[in-house]
Structure 1
Amino acid sequence: MAVFTAVTEAQLAQWLRHYDLGEVVEFRGITSGIENSNFFLTTTGGEYVLTIFEKLTDRQLPFYLDLMRHLAAHRVPVPDPVLRDDGALFGMLHGKPAAIVTKLEGAPQLAPGVEHCVEVGQMLARMHLAGRDFAHHQPNLRSLPWWEETVPTLLPFVDDAQRSLLTSELAHQHAFFASADYAAMPGGPCHCDLFRDNALFADAAPGTGHHVRLGGFFDFYFAGCDKWLFDVAVTVNDWCVDLPTGRLDDARVDALLRAYQTVRPFTPEENRHWSDMLRAGAYRFWVSRLYDFHLPRAAELLTPHDPGHFERILRERLQGVALPGIHTSCN
């Protein structure tokens, strides 16, 4: 979430005429993220987030907005798109699709503990199951076909060791994706980018006995239909990692996976390929960060993420990672 497209107060006022949100109290850009232009919007009617989509087209956007509405209707805490006065989920601003969604309660927890991982694991599984009857299908646009298209453009920018790892891991993932076990894994709508800065935590209600409360998941604009295990792997690679080294923290991994599997146990195929999917999750973000670093777009507020972080994570995952001893389904 950065600011690639600036919006003046006059432009905002004109655009908001299509919404019943009251008067503008505050409007400011959000500096984190790398894909869209995002703004916090406070009106007399409440708190919202306005997003201008820099890459997604008006044909692609309904999948993401409809998915959020579907999940919100199934009591999964996610931003709920606000309808315009004509019933549409988005409009055009500066010639680009733009939408307003409700703002979730809470703040990111950038140093998560076991208790945060429990909340995330349970809600991620609930989200996966809630998406089973979602009517629309769109593949994860940053999966294997995108890797195969993008990696050749990166090879001139990397050293020999990185070039070797990029090509060898791409070959490994190509074989994994073509396997019968991969085909048998369950899947559906996935967040595909559930990092610790894409979830919010609020104070727990008094008397509940809980120390933390998940406010919800947001930033669904990398979402797509994929294997659920890929979504879990992406999440574990961020929530359960030691940031300086890329190593997994066993206590957080165990907490997140146990919590997830109280809602949806893994299948035998998922158990067998946990290590492969952790590698896939790391590879996806190493490739995208290399791309953003070496082939950046101009933005008013943008700091590219360090691609070396996910290179370290991928090299760690190449050592192999076993699942904790968790009871799983044989269905």
Structure 2
Amino acid sequence: MAVFTEVSFEEAQKLMRRLRLGELQDLRGIEGGIENTNYFASAEQDGVLNHYVLTLFERLSAQQLPFYLYLMKHLAQAGIPVPDPQGDPNGDVLHTVCGKPAAVVNRLAGKSQLAPEPVHCAALGDMLARMHLAGRDYDREQPNLRGLPWWNETVPVVLPHLAAEQADLLRAELAFQNHTASGSDYAALPRGPVHADLFRDNAMFEGERLTGFFDFYFAGVDTWLFDVAVCLNDWCIDWPTGRHDDAKARALVQAYEAVRPFTAAERALFPALLRAGALRFWISRLWDFHLPREASMLKPHDPTHFERVLRDRVQRPWRP
């Protein structure tokens, strides 16, 4: 969520008027993240000040974006608390700002819980399962663009930047994940639209109440277990060491299972998919760290964090 493209107040005002959202009152760039340009935008309509997020997409194409935007609208209409893309008078939710594809969504209430307790993890697990079930009848298809094919393409690019021990781990884990993905248990895993990036800073809370998920721009059709694994690797670990936190993990998993029980294939592959979730973000952080793009607010994440998480998942396999 860095600012790669500077949007003027006047340009944003034109969009808000076109969407019939009122008169723009405030526009502020959002720091953090590394994929898209994001602004907080506030607009007044009929004496009421409403709050939105304006996103300009820097990597995703206009052909890819309808999957994400209409998935969010589908989930919102199913009662899942996610940002709802705002349409123009023709109902189109994909717009253009400064020559870039863009969207405007309502801003969720609350704030991110960056030091979650088991109660927050349980709320996440419950809503994640509900989101998976709500997405079963979504009729658009798009793979997880940061899935295994992307890992296979990107690892050779980042390997020259690594120490020998890191490179050995990366090669070995990639081989393990390719082997896992070729097996019958993997083929049997339930699938559907997944968020694929549901970190603590992509969920909002008011106290212990989860008010919503956002930033769906890594979503795709993948295994539901991968989505669970991504959450467990961020919400349910000891941050300094990357080690598994059993109390938080069990709270998340038990709440998830109360809505959608895991299958036998999922239980068998829990350790492997936890490793897959850690590998995915180690690779992407290595890529962003060693091959960065320019932005006016760009803070690449430390890739060694997910190296630690991966090593812990390899050394201490966990299943519920």
TM-score normalised per structure 1: 0.94
Other-structure match for 1:320: 316
Distance 1:268 1:82 in 2: 40
Q: Does 1:24 align with 2:43?
A: no
Counterpart AA for 2:164: D
Other-structure match for 2:154: 150
Show CA shifts across 1:129-169 (max 9, x none): 00000001100000100000000001111010011011110
Distance 1:253 1:87 in 2: 41
Distance 1:264 1:159 in 2: 42
Show CA shifts across 1:178-219 (max 9, x none): 11100000010000000000000014xxxxxxxx11010000
Distance 1:127 1:15 in 2: 30
Distance 2:202 2:175 in 1: 30
Distance 1:188 1:118 in 2: 22
Other-structure match for 1:215: 211
Distance 1:47 1:12 in 2: 13
Other-structure match for 1:76: 80
**Structure 1 residue ranges without an equivalent (≥5):** 204-211, 325-331
Counterpart AA for 1:159: A
Other-structure match for 2:180: 176
Supply the RMSD in Å over aligned alpha carbons. 0.8
Percent of aligned positions with the same letter in both sequences?
Answer: 57
Q: Does 1:251 align with 2:219?
A: no
Other-structure match for 2:69: 65
> 1:220 offset after TM fit, Å?
0.2
Aligned partner of 1:295 among 265, 278, 291:
291
Counterpart AA for 2:128: L
Distance 1:266 1:192 in 2: 18
Query: Does 275-284 or 18-27 show the bigger shift?
Result: 18-27
Instruction: Report the secondary structure of 2:135's partner residue.
Output: helix
Other-structure match for 1:193: 197
- Give aligned pairs, total: 316
Instruction: Report the secondary structure of 1:44's partner residue.
Output: strand
> 1:13 offset after TM fit, Å?
2.0
Aligned partner of 1:135 among 134, 139, 144:
139
Aligned partner of 2:114 among 83, 98, 110:
110
Other-structure match for 2:98: 94
Instruction: Report the secondary structure of 2:243's partner residue.
Output: coil
Other-structure match for 1:8: 8
Aligned partner of 1:265 among 261, 268, 282:
261
> 1:126 offset after TM fit, Å?
0.2
Distance 1:76 1:13 in 2: 29
**Structure 2 residue ranges without an equivalent (≥5):** none
> 1:119 offset after TM fit, Å?
0.3
Q: Is the Cα contact below 8 Å between 2:16 and 2:43 reproduced in 1? A: no
Q: Does 1:224 align with 2:220?
A: yes
Distance 2:271 2:113 in 1: 26
Counterpart AA for 2:12: L
Distance 1:149 1:318 in 2: 23
> 1:94 offset after TM fit, Å?
1.5
Distance 1:311 1:111 in 2: 21
